[in-house]
A and B are shown apart, each in its own frame.
Chain A
Amino acid sequence: MYSSLVRLQNTFGFFTTVAFCVALLISASDFLSDRAPTVNVLKTTQLQVVKGRADYYSSKKEEYAIIKFTLDADLSSLFTWNTKQVFAYVTAEWPSAQNNNATNQAVIWDTIITAPSSDHLGNFSPSKLKRLRKSAAGKGIDPSRGKLQIKNQRLKYPLTHPTGKLALTEDVQLKLHYNVQPWVGFLSWDQNQDWGKWKALKNGLSRKFTLPAIKTKEQAKKKTTTGGTRA
Chain B
Amino acid sequence: MAEQLLDQARDIFEGQIDFEGQKLVELLVNISLTLVGAIAFLVGYFLQDIKLAVYIGLAGTAATFLLVVPPWPIYNKNPVKWLPVAGVASPANIVIDETMLR
Q: Tell me the A residues contacting B by CB distance below 8 Å.
A: 1-5, 7-8, 10-11, 14-15, 18-19, 21-22, 25-26, 29, 80-82, 117, 140-141, 183
CA distance A5 to B64 in the complex (A): 15
A1-B17 in contact given A7-B25, A8-B69, A14-B33 (Cβ < 8 Å): yes
- Is the pair B50, A82 in contact by a Cβ cutoff of 8 Å? yes
A-B contact pairs, 8 of them (CB 8 A): A2-B16, A4-B15, A7-B29, A10-B29, A11-B33, A11-B65, A15-B61, A82-B50
Q: What 6 A-B pairs come out closest when comparing CB atoms?
A: A140-B49, A4-B15, A1-B22, A18-B37, A81-B48, A3-B14
User: Looking across the interface, which residue of chain A has its beta carbon closest to that of B67?
Assistant: A11
For B1-41 the 0/1 string (1 means CB < 8 A from A) is: 00000000000011111000110011001100110110011
Measured CB to CB, the closest approach of chain B to A48, in angstroms, equals 45
The answer, among A2, A7, A22, for a CB contact under 8 Å with B41, is A22
Interface of B, helix, strand, loop or mixed by DSSP: helix
B69 touches A81 (CB 8 A): no
Q: How far is the CB of A157 from chain B (nearest CB, A)?
A: 32
Question: Which residues of the other chain, B, contact A25 by a CB distance below 8 angstroms?
Answer: 41
B contact residues around A7 at 8 Å (CB)? 15, 25, 29, 68-69
A4 touches B71 (CB 8 A): yes
In the complex where A18-B37, A19-B37, A26-B41 touch, is A11 in contact with B69 (Cβ < 8 A)?
yes
CB distance A26 to B53 under 8 Å?
yes
Q: How many residues of B contact A (CB 8 A)?
A: 34
User: A18: nearest residue on chain B (CB-CB)?
Assistant: B37
How far, in Å, is B22 (CB) from chain A's closest CB?
4
**Least distance between B78 CB and chain A CB atoms (Å):** 14
Whether A8 touches B51, Cβ cut-off 8 Å, given contacts A14-B30, A22-B37, A22-B41, is: no
Q: When the two chains form their complex, are residues A140 and B29 in contact, meaning their CB atoms are under 8 A apart?
A: no
Which single member of A11, A19, A80 contacts B29 (CB below 8 Å)?
A11
Residue of B nearest to A182 (CB): B50
Partner of B50, one of A10, A19, A21, A183: A183
Assembled-state Cα–Cα distance A204/B41 (Å)? 34
Per-residue A-contact encoding for B48-60, CB less than 8 Å = 1, 0 else: 1111110001000
Residues of chain B with a CB closer than 8 A to A3's CB? 14-16
With A4-B70, A11-B65, A14-B30 as known contacts, state yes or no: A141 contacts B48, CB within 8 Å.
yes
CB distance from B25 to the nearest CB of A (A): 5
Kindly state the separation between the CA atoms of A3 and B21 in the bound complex, as whole angstroms. 11
Q: Which of B21, B33, B52 contacts A18 (CB 8 A)?
A: B33
Which residue of the partner chain B has the closest CB to A81? Answer: B48
Contacts of A10 in B (CB 8 A): 26, 29
Question: With A11-B65, A11-B68, A25-B41 in contact, do A140 and B51 touch (Cβ < 8 Å)?
Answer: yes
CB contact under 8 A between A1 and B52, given known A11-B65, A140-B47:
no
Q: Which residue of B lies closest to A83 (CB)?
A: B50
Q: Which residues of A contact B30 (CB under 8 A)?
A: 14
